[in-house]
Chain A
């Protein structure tokens, strides 16, 4: 049953609860049927991700919201690893490291393949006692931010290097003779099994690093945010974000590198050679030109680390990274070459953005009295100190580190495919990470016994079955929330990143909506009219035409290269501090995020007016 049916708008009767509880604002997870073709979906994911009937009373008493910002579509079973690790690590810092007084972690469940979150509050009597520990632990981080952050970068880069060094070798026909003669007494399976465990362990560590500073970054931002709202109750959220946001995040480097390469190509006269053919053909053509070698050296140099960049968000095994798919950066670069040749300025207006940021900051400051100004200076200073982490960590972790991780996993999947477990190279991703251990064992056993693997008789059919299920799950969009929202949400991520506020909840219920007008967050300023292009995946980015309005469930920072060509962006989800919102502001692209349903209500070809100042999208035709 979808939301429409629940609110009594559809043909199917509203499912009745067995008890006499009053109707809740959103459905119960237990009353939402899976789509056709998805029967048995619950068993392809680990048991701890499921709503279980025995826990119904407990689960129905909680508010769950769908996180379609990070998980816009149902994922393959292996990808549960990212959900598990990310959300666990988010929680640990609130609950066990920093003792954030009112907030513990976030519980999660899957419902029909979509991810639902429920923040865990701290019991009121326990909040006070946590404060001294929070002051001590968080205080240490705020007080030593720069050095701790530098240390963090060292740790993360080391972990990435270590991950990169992992090798998956097929088991050989015979154990090397030197091992036998030296009395080693072990075979090649140890290395294979350890390599897999090593990769998983490193992925887990990298997620722990991901959250080391993030909660604090949001806490400092939230403090500044609330101070500004206290001084100016009507100040747009966007104004506060602009004062804090940096103008040069590492997230922008990949796009900046493409622009530099485009300019260089035109300067060296190799641009024409780049404009046609496959990446291999284009690069070969450049190599044949007099200045080709110079350009190719620059191209290679830019790749490490800046091509470790996904057009998705790093959470999906289907994500494509620039370094593995040169067609992606090449496509963007061809666009830039065209614009350079047409005399357009393609660089981000960084000096103008800085000037604008300083102007906005000083004008709001002028409107305050002297005491407030002193407080403003302190809080803004801290917010600006911590904010680079909020933006930059995304590149290091989701793009670079996870890019390496997925590459290693694809190598393993290919190896196992070769060994006969499944016909397609990426078959492994239909298994969850613990099932992979069983497959590795099957492989090792078969090798040791000199017998055939069991998996060949099992996995191909099972993978096909699971593939059909995942496809069926993706055919139905998610319900935005379950049960009743609480009076107050205290968990900082829930507020800042996912934008779960009373306005958002009203929007999900479809309240106060004028026909033809969709409202969301005024994420990035500007008003623009244009033709809508609804995209559901980054693979469709090439369909966008100049001046069109991108409408999609969620964008990613790596889509930035198209931001110069489109008129505006409209998304279903995304808070003011989501990476997408940050990047849109940075690129001067009007954006309305967190609309809830824009990508299902708007159709490609419709004429839209997008107002990034007020957060409204009007369907004109």
Chain B
């Protein structure tokens, strides 16, 4: 296979999944399936490999890791810091920089989110990866290049190194991809799960939503609006509107996403219309069907797009908690035929008073 340093999402095929990591593979898959996803490109593991090979970085890293006792917190921190510093101190290889520059310009030089996209085995679960996983509202190609490098560096946080040590994953050969994706000018955003996270009920879709970018919902600094939708009938069964006091919005001048207070009139207003709630539910449902298992979906409503066309999927990954539990519950014996009718008449469950 020829070496490619960048791949636009709409060109990521199944054969490319290994070199674009989980997040970008998912974005590629969704794009191919016709789901509305903000456009972007992956910086492939080939690019990271090239970086490692240049300047002997790979050997440097190996040297730092030699004799590391992962239980020694102080040493671990020092080594992690040193490695990240080494990565940060090098320019990207010329060809890689050129490829990123070209891709960024080609797709419009929009403000972007720059996100690590690693394979699951190499890094602990995303919830452990910390803030360095994602950079929001990055503008201008030089900032993009910086953040790509920072994402690569996040392979060597103390926690990540310790994780691999504990799980006997060799550090040599651990590669990362980075996703560069157009920022959504989110009017509202959040997450949707295609089951009820409180009890695993697979006939429900539960949606958390708040103003601005969805990171406030994911990180929990805002109590979001919560909606329960019946999955098959596509009806809103319950809703809880919360006091959404902060929102995260893009600041192009600052080249970052910034937190700001939400004005009083909007704080307790439902941040999605009922029609939008159902649109999010349908999106989640579609993603569940495509992936053949319950999903945890991140989505956003783009203020720059017209109603009915402004719902974007940002991420979709398998739900793991309840999907595991399902295998553990014992199967009930099911009665059929006349015997069942007799049982039903003798034990009417819905009428127990």
A495→B334 contact, CB < 8 A: no
**B342 adjacent to chain A (CB < 8 Å):** yes
Least distance between A612 CB and chain B CB atoms (Å): 9
A101→B232 contact, CB < 8 A: no
Cβ contacts under 8 Å, B344 to chain A: 219, 222-223, 226
**B352 adjacent to chain A (CB < 8 Å):** yes
CA distance A614 to B229 in the complex (A): 11
Q: Using a Cβ cutoff of 8 Å, how many contacts connect chains A and B?
A: 111
A138→B334 contact, CB < 8 A: no
A101→B345 contact, CB < 8 A: yes
CA distance A361 to B237 in the complex (A): 19
CA distance A227 to B340 in the complex (A): 9
Binds A, one of B19-27, B165-173, B200-208: B200-208
A502→B203 contact, CB < 8 A: no
A223→B238 contact, CB < 8 A: no
A375→B230 contact, CB < 8 A: no
**B346 adjacent to chain A (CB < 8 Å):** yes
5 interchain residue pairs of minimum CB distance:
A613-B235, A223-B344, A502-B353, A363-B232, A375-B334
Closest to A372 in B: B334
Binds B, one of A53-61, A79-87, A230-238: A230-238
**A487 adjacent to chain B (CB < 8 Å):** yes
**A371 adjacent to chain B (CB < 8 Å):** yes
Cβ contacts under 8 Å, A527 to chain B: 274
**Known contacts A229-B350, A495-B348; is A238 also within 8 Å of B342 by CB?**
no
Closest to A376 in B: B334
**Known contacts A227-B334, A485-B353; is A360 also within 8 Å of B345 by CB?**
no
Least distance between A382 CB and chain B CB atoms (Å): 9
Cβ contacts under 8 Å, A233 to chain B: 201
A230→B332 contact, CB < 8 A: yes
**B337 adjacent to chain A (CB < 8 Å):** yes
Given A225-B350, A489-B353, 16 further pairs, Cβ under 8 A: A101-B346, A102-B345, A226-B348, A232-B203, A236-B237, A238-B233, A242-B233, A360-B232, A363-B231, A371-B334, A487-B353, A488-B348, A490-B346, A492-B348, A495-B350, A613-B237
**B240 adjacent to chain A (CB < 8 Å):** no
Interface string of B217-235 (1 = CB under 8 A from A): 0000000000000111101
A223→B352 contact, CB < 8 A: no
**B236 adjacent to chain A (CB < 8 Å):** yes
Cβ contacts under 8 Å, A242 to chain B: 233
CA distance A490 to B349 in the complex (A): 10
**B336 adjacent to chain A (CB < 8 Å):** yes
**Known contacts A101-B346, A371-B331, A371-B334; is A488 also within 8 Å of B353 by CB?**
yes
**Known contacts A226-B348, A371-B334; is A486 also within 8 Å of B353 by CB?**
yes
**B321 adjacent to chain A (CB < 8 Å):** no
Interface string of A360-375 (1 = CB under 8 A from B): 1001100101011001
**B341 adjacent to chain A (CB < 8 Å):** yes
Closest to A375 in B: B334
Closest to B326 in A: A369
24 A-B pairs in the complex with CB atoms less than 8 angstroms apart? A101-B346, A135-B338, A138-B341, A219-B344, A222-B348, A223-B344, A226-B348, A229-B350, A230-B349, A234-B201, A236-B233, A360-B232, A360-B233, A364-B232, A375-B336, A379-B340, A487-B353, A488-B352, A492-B345, A494-B351, A495-B350, A495-B351, A502-B353, A525-B233
**Known contacts A234-B204, A360-B233, A525-B233; is A378 also within 8 Å of B351 by CB?**
no
Closest to A239 in B: B233
Total residues of chain A contacting the partner, CB 8 A: 55
CA distance A267 to B316 in the complex (A): 55
Least distance between B330 CB and chain A CB atoms (Å): 13
B203→A235 contact, CB < 8 A: yes
Interface residues of A in 173-225 (CB under 8 A from B): 219-220, 222-223, 225
A139→B338 contact, CB < 8 A: yes
Cβ contacts under 8 Å, A102 to chain B: 345-346
**A49 adjacent to chain B (CB < 8 Å):** no
Interface residues of B in 168-208 (CB under 8 A from A): 201-204
Cβ contacts under 8 Å, A367 to chain B: 202-203
Least distance between B341 CB and chain A CB atoms (Å): 5
Least distance between B194 CB and chain A CB atoms (Å): 11
CA distance A225 to B341 in the complex (A): 11
Interface residues of A in 100-149 (CB under 8 A from B): 100-103, 127, 131, 134-135, 138-139, 142
When the two chains form the complex, which single residue of B203, B334, B342, B351 contacts A134, counting CB atoms closer than 8 Å?
B342
Cβ contacts under 8 Å, B346 to chain A: 101-102, 127, 490
Closest to A525 in B: B235
**A50 adjacent to chain B (CB < 8 Å):** no
**A505 adjacent to chain B (CB < 8 Å):** yes
Cβ contacts under 8 Å, A101 to chain B: 342, 345-346
CA distance A222 to B336 in the complex (A): 13
Interface residues of A in 226-254 (CB under 8 A from B): 226-227, 229-230, 232-236, 238-239, 242
Cβ contacts under 8 Å, A142 to chain B: 338
Least distance between B240 CB and chain A CB atoms (Å): 13
Least distance between B297 CB and chain A CB atoms (Å): 18
CA distance A601 to B8 in the complex (A): 62
Cβ contacts under 8 Å, A100 to chain B: 345
Pick from B236, B274, B336, B350 the residue with the most CB of A within 10 Å. B350
CA distance A313 to B220 in the complex (A): 56
CA distance A234 to B235 in the complex (A): 13
**A303 adjacent to chain B (CB < 8 Å):** no
Least distance between A497 CB and chain B CB atoms (Å): 13
A103→B345 contact, CB < 8 A: yes
Least distance between A201 CB and chain B CB atoms (Å): 32
B331→A614 contact, CB < 8 A: no
Least distance between B159 CB and chain A CB atoms (Å): 37
